[in-house]
Structure 1
Amino acid sequence: MKKYLTVPALIILMSFLHMSVNAQTTSDEVQIRSTIQNYFDGSHTDNPELLKAAFHPDATLKYIKEGKYQMIPIQKYFTFFTNSKKREFEEKIFYVDQYGNAANVKLSARYATYQFVDYMNLLKTEEGWKIVSKISHREEF
């Protein structure tokens, strides 16, 4: 005699599986947003240690300046932050797109006369979610 799952049992099973997958995604998104908040906080407070907590040590920053492609290692980027000033800007996360151990976050830092719109690529490493690359666009107002 064959046994079949009843429709209610099947619905309960599917709901449980959906909740399990959703719980993992929610947990990852919270961790990703925490990494991005370290980036924002480090930028606001000029604190390279907070930035180092957000980035993988081999990460890169890429952008176009005066029509030319620029790339700097993240270790050089950290030298721009010296705990010597406060940066006032409005931060915004447009989206978090995560699948498995990879994620992309679109965000902005809006200052009084310009803004940066960044795309952060993150990977889930042994140390947690880390930004492995940042591409940036500066827009003047």
Structure 2
Amino acid sequence: MKTAASKSSLEEEKHLILLTLNDYLQGRPVKDIDRLRRAFYADAYIRTVIDGKLVQWTLPQYLELVAQATLQECQPELLSYTWDGDTGSAQVQLTFATFRFIDRFNLVKLDGKWLIVDKISYREDL
């Protein structure tokens, strides 16, 4: 049986994880680079498969790509998240008019803050 303290800790952890995920989900559609940067660990990598080849970017390279992207209406959605101790994972979806990205994140908790350390992404045409 969970005590009040452990339930409180659980809710606090959920809140902290959701702060990070919401920085991504709310920042990416509007190209808010500062908010996106807050969600990621400074040395994070972003990976995807393009034409059958693995492509990866450092966080600064990824943020530059986002900054240059055409601003489009987007529906962000948190699909799932989980954690154990100071590591976790999440799956989100960004749906645009003609395609969507399905992103999977690896998360770590450092200095009391959850950060995305690794993102893999799949683009699906609609």
> How does the TM-score come out when normalised to structure 1?
0.81
- Is 2:80 the partner of 1:98? no
Deviation at 1:83, TM superposition (A): 8.7
- What is the identity, as a one-letter code, of the residue corresponding to 1:57? A
Give yes or no for contact 2:39–2:115 (8 Å, CA) kept in 1. Answer: yes
The corresponding residue for 1:47 is 32
- Once the 2 structures are TM-superposed, how far is the Cα of residue 111 of structure 1 from its aligned partner? 0.6
Residue 133 of structure 1: aligned partner: 118
Tell me the CA shift for residue 126 of structure 1: 1.3
> Are 2:29 and 2:76, in contact at CA under 8 Å, matched by a contact in 1?
no
Per-residue CA deviation, residues 89-140 of structure 1 (Å, 9 max, x unaligned), is 1111111111111110111001111100011111101161111010100000
| 1:84–1:63 distance in 2 versus 1, CA, 3 Å | closer
Residues 43 and 87 in structure 1, CA contact (< 8 A), matched pair in contact too: no
**Structure with the greater relative contact order (CA < 8 A, sep ≥ 6): 1 or 2?**
2
Count of aligned pairs between the two proteins:
126
1:35 alignment partner, SS class: helix
Given candidates 7, 18, 38, the residue that maps to 2:23 is 38
1:20 aligns with 2:20: no
Please tell me whether Structure 1 or Structure 2 has the larger radius of gyration of its CA atoms: 1
**Unaligned regions of 5+ residues in structure 1, if any?**
1-13
Cα distance in structure 2, aligned partners of 1:84 and 1:72: 15
Over the aligned positions, Cα root-mean-square deviation in angstroms equals 1.8
Deviations 1:22-67 (A, max 9, x none): 3212211111111111112221221211111110100000111011
State how far apart, in whole Å, the 2-side matches of 1:97 and 1:127 are: 17
Residue 65 of structure 2: SS of its match in structure 1? coil
Q: Does 1:29 align with 2:14?
A: yes
Structure-2 separation of matches of 1:40 and 1:112: 17
Structure 2 unpaired stretches of 5+ = none
Alignment partner of 1:79: what SS?
helix
3-state DSSP class of the match of 1:88? coil
